[in-house]
Structure 1
Amino acid sequence: MTKNPPLLTQQEIYEQFKIKYSQYSPDFELLIKAGQVEKLNRLVREKNAVILKHNYMSWDLQCDEVLGIRGDSLELSRKAGETEADIILFLGVKFMAETAKVLNPKKTVLIPSLKAGCSLASSIAGADVRKLKQMFPGIPVVAYVNTDADTKSEVDVCCASGNASKVVQWAMKEWKTNKVIFLPDKFLAQNVAREMGADIFFPNVSADATTTTKEFALRTKHIAPKTPIFIGWEGKCEVHEKFTPEDVDGLRHDFPGVYIMAHPECPPEVVKKVDFAGSTGEMIKNVTSPDVQDRQVAFFTECAMVEILAAQHKNVLQVCSIQKRCPHMAQNNLETVIEALEKMQYKITVPEDLRKKAELPIRRMIAVK
């Protein structure tokens, strides 16, 4: 049995913080944070817990000094299915913790705040998916992982931003069709459709089914036979929808030669103008690629990720005019995280019948390479 290495002391953590993160907090605050991290790590070890840290956490949670695994939604979904820990403490938002619970029904899954929701997840429910399936029978349903378990339980396969096009292609092949229902993110659907050379149709869900299906038939009548067709939904990320093409132009004016990366939840007009679009994990990896590492780099995504990247890479820009913070991710902080483990709150529960139905589309997503 492998013996765990000794935990860092408050002083050791503080010394590391001073080297890496002094631009974000004064020394006295770094010392306080170091004490909190020491306490958190001790709780993790004592309770046989694992912390899953989404890339949108603040630097004092993402940092290497906090025991845990850092990643994007897809990577953390994979790690959640592999962990041997008794307790999973998910630093993210509720749908992420639900995904971990669906994959680990016998484990305790905690989230630091019940207020950590998601505008995309709240834009759709299982009943909406059932209505879409009635309107468009036989067409596979792909749901972005940014959905609640209720929604996931009604779909055929989930996807993350990093494997969305691969999942769509897999679904079309499995169902032997050129059509797919893709929900709930409007902009991700448009960006993936553009990448695949697909047409996209947004049904009027308030209209009766007959009218909607007639509109769809009329729309697809004039499309080349093998052209992929997406049926989308109108959900949007409340952070990424705020980025504009003018932000891109302004950034290029202020920082000539800047390399700009954007998350595909951004509007298509933004994604078209940037140098690279991808998941948080893909963007982080791209920072150190040979073509990028010697250039100034800016990100159109949640600003907490940029915070820690700027501390790690001198070429990463922090531009106040484009910084956007997710209010739901911000519910996670050292105080709420420590309290979650101390008090074993807040426990995620998913009814077993719902969990079983939601598990298959999640595991299909993880299996797609």
Structure 2
Amino acid sequence: MIARDISSEIRLRAEEKDAVILAHNYQVAGVQDVADIVGDSLELARAAAGRREEIIVFCGVDFMAETAAILSPEKTVLLPAPDAHCPMAGMITGGEVKTLRERFPDAAVVAYVNTTAEVKAESDICCTSANALKVVESLEADQVIMLPDRNLAGYVARFTEKEILPWQGFCYVHDMMTIADVSRARLNHPGAELLVHPECRPGVIDLADYIHSTSGMIRHICASDKREFIIGTEPGIIHQIEKRCPGKRVYPLSEKAVCINMKKTSLEKVLQSLENLTPRMVVPEEIAARARVAIERMLQI
């Protein structure tokens, strides 16, 4: 079956099953094209909470499908690639969050959405890369534990007077981008603007023209008078930029910065998932109830 036939079959099955397909900006091009909504973590979290369909097909990694299942416990949430794990989400456990609370009893705990449900359940509020500073500034506490990404925490610390206590986790995709990559990209594309993700290392952020979430990058590029851009994030986003911002030229800061887990979702897996209504993401209610509080606090900001 050719890709076009698979895509048509997916759309037919989605309509028959009353399903909405959500895809992250890092997904392969075919999966992005067949989705109802393509976006970053914040946009997809909002979509999962607000859609009317009975079935949510989440083309992303495990924590994203968990978040959808937490926000919509009455719905069927499918993760077509059940082995699509986020390594950064695995860098901290709920037990470690409890230990942090004991060590810093006056601190608020902000969990990046790139965490497991059990970590969210032990946290006060969630954040994404797009709203992390706003979330931190909304808290009454003067001391804030941010987890698990040390680079996002360091970026937020630049703009707040609150004391930020970072967990030492990281996104391996963004953390692999270096100052040498920036020098090479600037040399090869001297007229291009450099946009990087806040999960990048501090030295890379220092050299960037702008720091944005993935969807923030797309909006910036579409609105800009500039024609050329270097992007310091996973190159899957280039497909969305080319679709939404015609005429713009985009170069990845690093060709090696590929999230292999985001690429595990294929059109074949999406179709199979819709046909069988598996694999289903289920979060135990005793965990989901507490995690839901942290996520909904974020969505209210």
339-348 or 318-327: bigger deviation = 318-327
* Cα distance, 1:178 vs structure 2: 1.7
Aligned to 1:349: 282
- Once residues 53 and 327 of structure 1 are traced to their aligned partners in structure 2, the CA distance between those partners, rounded to angstroms, is 15
- Once residues 67 and 188 of structure 1 are traced to their aligned partners in structure 2, the CA distance between those partners, rounded to angstroms, is 28
List per-residue Cα deviations over 1:101-142 (Å, max 9, x = no partner): 000111100001111111111000100000000000021100
- Once residues 252 and 274 of structure 2 are traced to their aligned partners in structure 1, the CA distance between those partners, rounded to angstroms, is 35
The SS at the match of 1:137 is: coil
Say whether residues 1:281 and 2:208 are aligned partners. Answer: no
* Aligned counterpart for 1:296 among listed residues 228, 235, 243: 228
Aligned to 2:156: 192
Matches within 5 A, 1:210-221: none
Change (3 A) 1:295 1:41: same
Matches within 5 A, 1:233-312: 233-289=167-223, 292-310=224-242, 312=245
TM normalised by structure 2 equals: 0.96
* Cα distance, 1:192 vs structure 2: 1.1
Question: Whose strand fraction is larger, Structure 1's or Structure 2's?
Answer: 2
Q: CA contact under 8 A between 2:229 and 2:250: conserved in structure 1? A: yes
- Once residues 121 and 321 of structure 1 are traced to their aligned partners in structure 2, the CA distance between those partners, rounded to angstroms, is 23
The SS at the match of 1:345 is: coil
* 2:241 maps to amino acid: L
Say whether residues 1:315 and 2:248 are aligned partners. Answer: yes
The SS at the match of 2:84 is: coil
Aligned to 1:325: 258
- Once residues 240 and 195 of structure 1 are traced to their aligned partners in structure 2, the CA distance between those partners, rounded to angstroms, is 21
* Cα distance, 1:319 vs structure 2: 4.5
* 1:233 maps to amino acid: W
Say whether residues 1:102 and 2:66 are aligned partners. Answer: no
- Once residues 205 and 293 of structure 2 are traced to their aligned partners in structure 1, the CA distance between those partners, rounded to angstroms, is 31
Q: CA contact under 8 A between 2:218 and 2:240: conserved in structure 1? A: no
List per-residue Cα deviations over 1:315-344 (Å, max 9, x = no partner): 222358535210110111101111111111
Matches within 5 A, 1:163-182: 163-171=131-139, 173=140, 177-182=141-146
Aligned to 1:149: 117
Unaligned runs of 5+ in 2: none
List per-residue Cα deviations over 1:160-210 (Å, max 9, x = no partner): 000000000111x3xxx32101110011101111133xxxxxxxxxxxxxx
* Cα distance, 1:257 vs structure 2: 1.6
Aligned to 1:92: 60
Aligned to 1:60: 30
The SS at the match of 1:89 is: strand
Aligned to 1:208: none
* Cα distance, 1:264 vs structure 2: 0.5
Aligned to 1:23: none
Aligned to 1:359: 292
- Once residues 89 and 39 of structure 2 are traced to their aligned partners in structure 1, the CA distance between those partners, rounded to angstroms, is 20
- Once residues 97 and 36 of structure 2 are traced to their aligned partners in structure 1, the CA distance between those partners, rounded to angstroms, is 35
If you compute each CA radius of gyration, which structure gives the higher value, 1 or 2? 1
The SS at the match of 2:23 is: strand
Q: CA contact under 8 A between 2:186 and 2:192: conserved in structure 1? A: yes
* 2:136 maps to amino acid: V
Say whether residues 1:42 and 2:12 are aligned partners. Answer: yes
* 2:220 maps to amino acid: N
- Once residues 226 and 213 of structure 2 are traced to their aligned partners in structure 1, the CA distance between those partners, rounded to angstroms, is 21
The number of equivalent residue pairs is 300
* 2:56 maps to amino acid: I
- Once residues 232 and 97 of structure 2 are traced to their aligned partners in structure 1, the CA distance between those partners, rounded to angstroms, is 30
- Once residues 323 and 258 of structure 1 are traced to their aligned partners in structure 2, the CA distance between those partners, rounded to angstroms, is 20
The SS at the match of 2:194 is: strand
* Cα distance, 1:307 vs structure 2: 3.1
TM normalised by structure 1 equals: 0.79
Q: CA contact under 8 A between 1:258 and 1:297: conserved in structure 2? A: yes
Q: CA contact under 8 A between 1:186 and 1:232: conserved in structure 2? A: yes
* 1:98 maps to amino acid: E
- Once residues 296 and 221 of structure 2 are traced to their aligned partners in structure 1, the CA distance between those partners, rounded to angstroms, is 29
Aligned to 1:4: none
Aligned to 2:129: 161
* Aligned counterpart for 2:166 among listed residues 232, 252, 260: 232
* 1:315 maps to amino acid: K
